[in-house]
């Protein structure tokens, strides 16, 4: 089955997931790799990925998902806040809600992704006035710095192979 890998990534985290998916699947069946584009819609199977923007996927991925018809779709993404599978499920489900009926959701995989230094500067400023609120934010920021790591990418690889085994 021909497939496409479509993603939006501002700082490269989600692109790492896209690259891993590309690396493990047959290159001769890949018909499109990159930002949302009409060309990608020729594939029956689409891997669609996004960074997390205010609790859901980016606006261009939202729009892309809303335009899909009768496709098999696997979602992937990264989020600055991590460590909780419930949080990742919430984002995966929000992304999936953009898919019109008639498409088949094959599953999703999300992991944590590092945030830009400007975010830490904001938390540091917050720590001056509200240290209690800032502390967990700073801790999460520092934890995110190493993600997505090899273990995240290996888990994605396993999730994709498991999905293809069932699909
Ligand atoms: C404007 C903006 C909004 C964000 N909103 C969220 C959010 O609601 N939840 C979250 O977990 N991460 C949020 N993040 C963090 C990014 O989703 C995260 O760092 C992601 O890994 C970036 O992926 P990319 O490198 O592929 O762009 C936000 C980042 C930016 C710049």
pLDDT at 57: 98
Q: How confident is the model at residue 28 (pLDDT cuts 50, 70, 90)?
A: very high
Delimit the domains of the chain by residue range. 3-113+148-166, 115-146
For residue 115, report the distance from its CA to the centre of ligand 1, in Å: 7
Which fold would CATH assign to domain 3-113+148-166? Rossmann fold (3.40.50)
Question: For a pocket test of ligand 1, which of 5, 78, 80 has the largest count of ligand atoms closer than 8 A to its C-beta?
Answer: 80
Decide if 106 contacts 167 (C-beta within 8 A): yes
Q: Which helix (H) or strand (E) holds 125?
A: helix 117-129
0.95 surpassed by pTM = yes
Cα separation, 145 vs 149, in Å, equals: 9
Cα separation, 110 vs 153, in Å, equals: 10
Closest CA to 37 of 56, 63, 19, 75: 63
pLDDT at 79: 98
For residue 79, report the distance from its CA to the centre of ligand 1, in Å: 5
Which atom in ligand 1 lies closest to the alpha carbon of residue 55?
Answer: 8
**pLDDT digit string (tens) for 87-105?**
999 999 999 999 999 999 9
């Amino acid at each position: 089955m021909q497939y496409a890998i479509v993603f939006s990534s501002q700082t490269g985290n989600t692109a790492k997931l896209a690259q891993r998916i590309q690396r493990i699947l047959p290159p001769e069946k890949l018909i499109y790799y990159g930002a949302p584009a009409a060309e990608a819609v020729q594939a029956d199977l689409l891997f669609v990925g996004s960074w997390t923007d205010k609790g859901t996927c980016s606006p261009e991925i939202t729009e892309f998902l809303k335009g899909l018809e009768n496709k098999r779709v696997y979602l992937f993404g990264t989020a600055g806040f991590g460590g909780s599978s419930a949080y990742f499920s919430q984002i995966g489900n929000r992304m999936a809600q953009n898919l019109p009926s008639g498409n088949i959701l094959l599953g999703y995989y999300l992991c944590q992704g590092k945030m830009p230094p400007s975010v830490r500067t904001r938390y540091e400023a917050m720590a001056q006035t509200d240290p209690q609120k800032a502390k967990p934010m700073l801790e999460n920021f520092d934890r995110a710095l190493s993600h997505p790591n090899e273990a995240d990418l290996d888990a994605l690889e396993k999730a994709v192979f498991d999905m293809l085994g069932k699909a």
